[in-house]
Amino acid sequence: MTAGFAGLAIDGVILPLVERLFAPSLLEGWNGFGSIGVAMAIIIWCGAIAIGWVLTACMSAVIWERYAPTQAVLDVESDPPAC
């Protein structure tokens, strides 16, 4: 549950706040290029969302490794991959 708070903070608070602050100016800056400009703004925002997902995965893993029982972390890290 603690690791889920990283996702809640990043995807539920930080990214929507950044979107509210920067999306209008981002769209306005690309508006002069017409439909290509709007598409570029959307692509940039998709990149921001992707970075948010990567940060969520990394932060969740770090938090889990810090708060999980030591034996559970060692078992996950030392198990051979299932092929």
pLDDT digits (tens, 9 = 90+) for 63-78: 888 888 888 878 877 7
What are 31-66's pLDDT values in tens digits?
778 888 888 888 888 898 898 889 888 888 888 888
Instruction: Compare 47 and 24 and report the one with higher pLDDT.
Output: 47
pTM recorded for the entire structure? 0.64
What per-residue confidence (pLDDT) applies to 3?
67
Give yes or no for residue 79 having a pLDDT over 70: no
What sign for the dihedral angle of Cα 13, 20, 29, 42?
Answer: positive
Give yes or no for residue 1 having a pLDDT over 70: no
Residue 81: φ, ψ to 5°: -65, 140
80: left (phi over 0), alpha (psi -120 to 50) or beta: beta
